[in-house]
């Protein structure tokens, strides 16, 4: 079967995963995928509270450097927050077959995937040409604004993607006060809970799965013995 038609492994971690362990696993898995020694993988998880700095992070955007651990990572983007109540989705796909080696096309598909999932959850997400991520339009007395509900950041290893996106479900939004999220100071952040949308993490996971199938046209498999041999966490 051609890789473009093969299903991918879909796994949801039930306990929080250390960020460095997740990053090391992604690098190992991406190397195996690039050599056709492992299936592609979509991994859903949560992290403990941390700030991560992408390749474009600016020191001035780290406002409270001692609030949480600050970890430098090889993904694209600037500073972001990870923590409980946030669904992190790590995407390890072969862009040679899935997106014709077109990184912009891949990012656009990730954003459409998120928007499809949000629509299923009753949230209208939008994208903006000058801002990566998915945003929600907010209307308040005295003015309007747009808040980010999902952040994106990827890395490539031999055309296999690592990292992915983080969707705010019931995250403590005050934890973003220690950084300028993604270097954008004139917009805020929001979550499913902040928007008063009555869904839980399981609803979010189902919406993410359904939207993935619709956007990429790929079926999914549970991890099997081969995945454990490949070092799945």
DSSP E strand stretches across the chain? 8-12, 41-45, 50-53, 69-72, 79-82, 86-92, 125-128, 131-140, 143-157, 160-168, 188-189, 220-221
What Å distances lie between residue 136 and 80, 96, 117, 176, 192, CA to CA?
Answer: 18, 32, 13, 17, 10
Decide the pairing of beta strands 79-82 and 86-92: unpaired
Of 9, 84, 72, 73, nearest to 46 (Cα)?
Answer: 84
Out of 99, 156, 182, 207, pick the active-site residue.
Answer: 182
Is 230 in the active site? Answer: no
The residues annotated with a catalytic role in the active site are 182
């Amino acid at each position: 079967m051609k890789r473009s038609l093969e299903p991918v492994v879909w796994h949801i971690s039930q306990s929080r995963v250390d960020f460095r362990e997740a990053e090391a696993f992604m690098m190992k898995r991406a190397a195996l995928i690039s050599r056709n020694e492992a299936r592609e993988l979509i991994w859903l998880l949560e992290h403990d509270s941390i700030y991560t700095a992408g390749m474009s992070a600016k020191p001035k955007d780290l406002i409270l450097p001692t609030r949480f651990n600050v970890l430098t990572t090889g993904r694209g983007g600037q500073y972001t927050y990870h923590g409980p109540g946030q669904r992190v989705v790590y995407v390890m796909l072969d862009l040679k077959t899935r997106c014709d080696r077109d990184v912009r096309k891949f990012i656009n598909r990730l954003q459409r995937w998120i928007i499809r999932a949000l629509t299923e959850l009753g949230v209208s997400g939008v994208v903006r040409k000058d801002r990566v991520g998915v945003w929600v339009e907010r209307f308040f007395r005295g003015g309007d604004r747009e808040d980010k509900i999902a952040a994106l950041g990827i890395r490539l290893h031999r055309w296999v993607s690592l990292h992915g996106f983080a969707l705010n479900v019931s995250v403590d939004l005050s934890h973003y006060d220690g950084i300028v999220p993604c270097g954008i100071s004139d917009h805020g952040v929001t979550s499913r809970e902040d928007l008063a949308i009555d869904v839980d993490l399981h609803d979010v996971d189902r919406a993410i799965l359904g939207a993935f199938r619709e956007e990429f046209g790929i079926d999914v498999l549970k991890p099997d013995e081969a995945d454990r041999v490949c070092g799945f966490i």
